[in-house]
Structure 1
Amino acid sequence: MNDIKTASRSRHAETVSARISPVGGLDVLSRNEVARLRDATQSGLHALLRRCALAVLTSGSLSDDARGLLERYPDFDVQVLQQDRGIRLELTNAPAQAFVDGQIIRGINELLFAVVRDIVYVSTQIEAGQFDMHDSSGITHAVFDILRNARVLRAHQDPNLVVCWGGHSISREEYDYTKLVGYQLGLRGLDICTGCGPGAMKGPMKGATIAHAKQRRRQNRYIGITEPGIIAAESPNPIVNNLVIMPDIEKRLEAFVRVGHGIIVFPGGVGTAEEILYLLGILLHPDNAAIPFPLLFTGPRIAAPYFEQIDRFLRLALGDAVAERYQILIDDPTAVARAMVKGVDKVRNYRLDTKDAFFFNWALHVPYEFQVPFRPTHEAIAEQQISRDLPRHALAANLRRVFSGIVAGNVKEEGMRAIEQRGPFEIDGDPAIMRALDALLQDFVRQQRMKLPGTAYVPCYRVRNAA
């Protein structure tokens, strides 16, 4: 339940102030944990809590500007209150859209306390040195522990979790297609995991809810995995019923490939390209050659050129053999769902044979260079070696970091600030790859895949050797 204190319309947006009690999940915190969440200094957690809580309270927002959200609600604040019967959240000047007739929407309530849960857990366990973050195995165990604490991992359940990647800035036809695919997946008893935002992250969940209802299927999972640097630019969509905030983009990406039994990629932009390169870099590693992992690229007929561009770039940079690790299916949601079911069956049989867990892909080798947090500074982007002399998985890792830098320059507060201060990131490397990269990025811009439609895009990058 919640106590409404005030409701007002500021010069920015209509707001509400209230005290919120948790609904399920997190109930108690230690005094030290509460103190850290209330600490507004640089070493405290209050700024992170405020940013993530505001993103949840604006669930369904179409903005992709993290700073714009804070500017719209400059007086918003959230405080954790320690009380005799547990914790409460005090919201000041919170977005009114999160409330209905004086009551906070239940799903938003749940996600708010998921934010508190994950921020506290990461700060007390990961940052306190519970895991060796300089060791690949230690990082994987940290990812596992965060997901377990969030109650995402389910034992005694056959593999059925499909990760869906794709852009938040997609056309209506592309969005409708993601719903059709989600519907077909849901009819076949598959759950959905996405990056939790709008567009291709929302559509599959929306389609699956209808199919799950038709099949009278309950206890469905609509998992959204995000991280602090991007949650404000991609607020959780209203369908997410399991929100997990990983500490950084690398652990977010590892979480996807560890919990998912297959991945479907819809049309997107640089963020989607980053995810593709991350996964292919892992699958191309020799240690993972025998591990089945269904990877499907799909979209409506109008998206065929997009995947042709992606396929052309991947083959040029990583060799034609890279196409053996993915399948492209255009304008056929039923075929996509059937192919995914077939692929998940192979995953199930492989894990039975190797005695690996259904709920966490322990056997997959994720190299340390894929796990180390990459801070996209101008120097770090310029240092990336882009050469076909590198092993394919290493080149994919470096390309992934380049795309990560562009994502940061487009939508993340730190990256946007760096571009404003120092100008575009400089990207350099093998001339053939640079030409292909420049052509791919120009196509993304023309197709409005860099920003939401209707907003002007100013490139945050400059590709050298592309002439």
Structure 2
Amino acid sequence: MTKTQDTPASPRTTSLPTVNARIYPRSGLDILSREEVARLRDASRGGMHDLLRRCTLAVLTTGSTSDDPRAAQELYPDFDIEVRQQDRGLRIDLKNAPAIAFVDGEIIRGVAELLAAVVRDLVYTAIELAPEYADELGTSAGVTDAVFRLLRNASVLQPADPNLVVCWGGHSINRDEYQYTKDVGYELGLRGLDICTGCGPGAMKGPMKGATIAHAKQRQRRPRYIGITEPGIIAAESPNPIVNQLVIMPDIEKRLESFVRLGHGIIVFPGGVGTAEEILYLLGILLREENAQLPFPLILTGPVASAPYFEQIDKFIRLTLGEAATARYEIIVGDPEKVARQMAAGIRKVREYRLDQKDSFYFNWSLDVPLEFQQPFQPTHEAMAALDLHHGRKPHELAADLRRAFSGIVAGNVKEDGMRRIEEFGPFQIHGDTDMMESLDALLRAFVEQRRMKISGDYKPCYEVIA
């Protein structure tokens, strides 16, 4: 139920229409005890209020193509949110909310569900990952348990046959690449496979859009289009409209672990630094001896014109992580049907392995994720300069630091805190062995030339690569 009232545009805005509204969540947040509601209300009014406001604004502008986290705030500077207590649940009050989220005075149902997910995840995180959990979060098993609880609270853990494909790729891709992601999503959907992405535009939207048609053809009643994000990303990349289950993890590391614990296979489309970060994260884990026998289908794919992109990624991986890393993935170019067939076959092996190991279908407990891949990395200038990017290290250890390097560049590109650091102190400096830095620099230059760093506008690098 929604109650709305039109409001005049603020003189500071570009006269975009806004409304005041009261939202009564229909699911997820309406079956709560009075104590739980009071805790939610108090947390939303405290130190996390600004974060709640920014993430809520992101979902209310769902479908936005901007990747500047400050754009929506500048367009709707007077927007605010308050979580209020009701006898049996919550009421969400919105002030000067974007009118595009409403139709004839009613909030769009999908937007209302994403709004409820924002409140649920941000406040649940504030409660469940409070200081009293610090000791638990200092161990690998403790972090994994926290990830499990967050996903369970979001109701995305379903005891069904393995069928969830995680799709990674850039938010800034060209039209041919976007169409290709839709074609692959269509082929996946025809085979009864659901989609999980980072929830934003580009390669995160395309597979979901393609799968919706296939799922409709197959009369699949409850397809899942899961979007997993984190507060720093969602403010820059609003969820795409197809996402029907949104999860906001507290940081990038828990977001990445969610993907590999929840998904049964991963497809990587062309992307930029964020996609490279994801590839290095997964390879770093799969290269550990503890995961050597674990089946985990990983396919890198794109249209024929994107072949040079994957050649360069493959060359960088061979130089840094060695030939063994290439055995953990397959590159398929220009063949959506083959991608879907290979992924479906890989997921059948995952099912057999889980049955043999008596592991759950809905959460990959068997995967060993070390603490160095779980601890949040704060991309300060000092931390970026201190990364150990040299040969002679174990592949999974080098992968962890390479992942952090790309994570820092992502922060400098699209996360508000990272952008502020760059504006104040200048570009991050990344040091390492000469051949590694030359390869890294060539890869990053290619991302810039192919316009994979930003959706629009001229890109000014937030980094300097120093041999």
CA distance in 2 between partners of 1:84 and 1:31 (Å): 10
Counterpart residue type for residue 464 of structure 1: I
Q: Which residue of 2 aligns with 1:3?
A: 3
Match of residue 140, structure 2, among 136, 139, 150: 136
Counterpart residue type for residue 3 of structure 1: K
Report the secondary structure of 2:132's partner residue.
Answer: coil
The reply to whether residue 174 of structure 1 matches residue 177 of structure 2 is yes
CA distance in 2 between partners of 1:386 and 1:115 (Å): 37
Equivalent runs, 1:318-397 vs 2, <5 Å = 318-397=321-400
Q: Could you list the structure 1 runs, at least 4 aligned residues long, displaced by more than 4 angstroms after superposition.
A: none
- What's the CA shift for 1:130? 4.3
CA distance in 1 between partners of 2:7 and 2:194 (Å): 38
With 200-209 and 16-25 compared, the bigger mean Cα shift is at 16-25
Counterpart residue type for residue 318 of structure 2: R
Match of residue 38, structure 2, among 18, 31, 37: 31
Q: Which residue of 2 aligns with 1:444?
A: 447
CA distance in 1 between partners of 2:37 and 2:316 (Å): 51
CA distance in 2 between partners of 1:192 and 1:83 (Å): 35
CA distance in 1 between partners of 2:7 and 2:331 (Å): 51
Q: Deviations over 1:323-356 (max 9, x none)?
A: 1000000010000000000100110111111111
CA distance in 1 between partners of 2:338 and 2:188 (Å): 10
Check whether the contact 2:428–2:463 (CA below 8 A) recurs between aligned residues.
yes
CA distance in 1 between partners of 2:202 and 2:122 (Å): 26
Query: Please, what TM-score do these two structures have when normalized by structure 1?
Result: 0.97
Report the secondary structure of 1:239's partner residue.
Answer: coil
Q: Which residue of 1 aligns with 2:462?
A: 460
CA distance in 2 between partners of 1:128 and 1:438 (Å): 40
The reply to whether residue 280 of structure 1 matches residue 283 of structure 2 is yes
Q: Which residue of 2 aligns with 1:152?
A: 156
- What's the CA shift for 1:67? 1.4
Counterpart residue type for residue 8 of structure 2: S
CA distance in 1 between partners of 2:436 and 2:39 (Å): 51
Unaligned runs of 5+ in 1: none
CA distance in 1 between partners of 2:132 and 2:361 (Å): 28
Q: Deviations over 1:349-381 (max 9, x none)?
A: 111111111100001000100000000000000
The reply to whether residue 302 of structure 1 matches residue 305 of structure 2 is yes
Equivalent runs, 1:112-131 vs 2, <5 Å = 112-130=115-133
Report the secondary structure of 2:327's partner residue.
Answer: helix
Q: Deviations over 1:50-106 (max 9, x none)?
A: 011001001000010101221111100011111234211111111111011111000
CA distance in 1 between partners of 2:386 and 2:279 (Å): 21
Counterpart residue type for residue 146 of structure 2: A
Query: Please, what TM-score do these two structures have when normalized by structure 2?
Result: 0.97
Check whether the contact 2:29–2:89 (CA below 8 A) recurs between aligned residues.
no
Q: Deviations over 1:4-31 (max 9, x none)?
A: 1224344332211111111222114432
Report the secondary structure of 2:439's partner residue.
Answer: helix
Check whether the contact 2:300–2:331 (CA below 8 A) recurs between aligned residues.
yes
Check whether the contact 1:291–1:364 (CA below 8 A) recurs between aligned residues.
yes
Counterpart residue type for residue 216 of structure 2: A
Match of residue 90, structure 1, among 72, 84, 93: 93
CA distance in 2 between partners of 1:127 and 1:344 (Å): 36
Match of residue 184, structure 1, among 172, 187, 210: 187
Q: Deviations over 1:381-430 (max 9, x none)?
A: 01100012100000000000000000000000000000000000000101
Counterpart residue type for residue 21 of structure 2: A
CA distance in 2 between partners of 1:128 and 1:392 (Å): 33
- What's the CA shift for 1:128? 4.5
Match of residue 211, structure 1, among 211, 214, 221: 214
Check whether the contact 1:60–1:237 (CA below 8 A) recurs between aligned residues.
yes
Unaligned runs of 5+ in 2: none
Report the secondary structure of 1:216's partner residue.
Answer: coil
Counterpart residue type for residue 462 of structure 1: E
Check whether the contact 2:68–2:236 (CA below 8 A) recurs between aligned residues.
yes
Q: Deviations over 1:139-164 (max 9, x none)?
A: 00000000001110011x11000000
Counterpart residue type for residue 118 of structure 1: D
Aligned pair count reads: 459
CA distance in 1 between partners of 2:83 and 2:6 (Å): 18
Q: Percent identity?
A: 66
Check whether the contact 1:402–1:427 (CA below 8 A) recurs between aligned residues.
yes
Match of residue 59, structure 1, among 59, 62, 65: 62
Q: Which residue of 2 aligns with 1:76?
A: 79
Report the secondary structure of 2:451's partner residue.
Answer: coil
Q: Deviations over 1:215-270 (max 9, x none)?
A: 00011110000001110111111000100000100000000000000000000000
